[in-house]
Amino acid sequence: MAGMRAVVCEGAGGVEVLTIGEIEDPTPAVDEVVINVVAAGVNRADLLQRQGHYPPPPGAPGTIGLEVSGTIAAVGAEVEGWSVGDECCALLAGGGYAEKVVVPAPQVMPVPEGVDLVSAAALPEVVATVWSNVFMTAHLKEGETLLVHGGSSGIGTMAIQLGVAHGARVLCTVGSKDKMDFCHRLGAEVAINYKEAEWASVVNEATGKQGADVILDIMGAKYLQDNVKTLAYDGRLVVIGMQGGTKAELDLGRLMSRRGSITGTGLRVRSVAEKGQILAEVVGHVWPLVAAKKVRPVIQRTYPLEAVAQAHEALEQSNHIGKILLTI
């Protein structure tokens, strides 16, 4: 069996477990394609998987990587609309840190107009996350207020841009002056340095004590109480991360008085059909905004596959703005 280069974890732990090894070439099932990978996105879920805290779902490749860009290398017998050589980007359940990856066809998207093939790897995970949560789940509407935690992250920079493009007023929290300035340039009306200000008070002041209609939260437990305090009437809090812990007290009285709702979601464990539905909406609703230059991928830096340890370290240090990519 022919082999390909891939990042292999020798056990679980720090970046020292990341090595470049050789694994078997993937072969597509009838409803799958194989992609020759050009670039892969680096996500916080990848760090958790490396540490042994986030195993891949059943049937997914054991190697790390949740999004790629590249060209179609092989097409399953029942796949329509894709041919060998087509440029694409894809959302994965795993396996992206490799020269090739096999993907269910519904999880593959064309590269949007005006985006180069490497940069396209920065899009699938963040766009699918933001679109599915802010728009499909929380139903952000024109004229509403969106609060984005982690505004300078890959997800945050995309959420700010999509919120602005849909006529929302966008506020965000970040950790430095440079990140505040960048988020302002992306269109955020208010950017709050959580290290220097009590962000919940600033949100309430900026909204005339009305609060945020939609909150996209990566912190989880640490921000739960303040998130509920800053919800507008009929506000929707969507929790997509647990960087600030998993357990916290919830003031149900406050939540009920605001007629608020809290949703916790994950993308990786969704079915192929669900992911396909999300990505079809992304292609229909977001790709035209990219082509019109109203939305763009924000990329901090690319690293070669051999420098995967440095890429993980850069993400862990949280000094970046936007996405970190690996080039294969």
- What does each of the 328 residues of the chain score in pLDDT, given as a tens digit? 468 999 999 999 999 999 999 999 999 999 999 999 999 999 999 999 999 999 888 888 889 999 999 999 999 999 999 999 999 999 999 999 999 999 999 999 999 999 999 999 999 999 999 999 999 999 999 999 999 999 999 999 999 999 999 999 999 999 999 999 999 999 999 999 999 999 999 999 999 999 999 999 999 999 999 999 999 999 999 999 999 999 999 999 999 999 999 999 999 989 999 999 999 999 999 999 999 999 999 999 999 999 999 999 999 999 999 999 999 9
Position 59 scores a pLDDT of 86
Position 60 scores a pLDDT of 87
What is the radius of gyration, based on Cα positions, of the chain? 20
Position 320 scores a pLDDT of 94
Q: Between β-strands 323-327 and 32-42, what pairing exists: parallel, antiparallel or unpaired?
A: antiparallel
Rounded distance between C-alpha atoms, residue 239 and residue 216, angstroms: 6
pTM: predicted TM-score of the whole model, two decimal places:
0.96
CA separation (Å) from 234 to 97, 181, 196, 231?
A: 41, 30, 29, 8
Please say whether the beta carbons of 19 and 10 come within 8 A. yes
Position 194 scores a pLDDT of 96
Position 199 scores a pLDDT of 97
Q: Between β-strands 87-91 and 100-104, what pairing exists: parallel, antiparallel or unpaired?
A: unpaired
Please say whether the beta carbons of 283 and 142 come within 8 A. no
Position 232 scores a pLDDT of 98
Query: Of 173, 139, 132, 168, whose CA–CA distance to 156 is shortest?
Result: 173
If 0-12 CB within 10 Å is exposed, 13-18 middle and 19+ buried, where does residue 99 land? buried
Q: Which residue carries 């420098």 as its tokens? A: 307
Position 296 scores a pLDDT of 97
Q: Between β-strands 100-104 and 212-217, what pairing exists: parallel, antiparallel or unpaired?
A: unpaired
Q: For residue 183, give the H/E element and its range.
A: helix 177-186
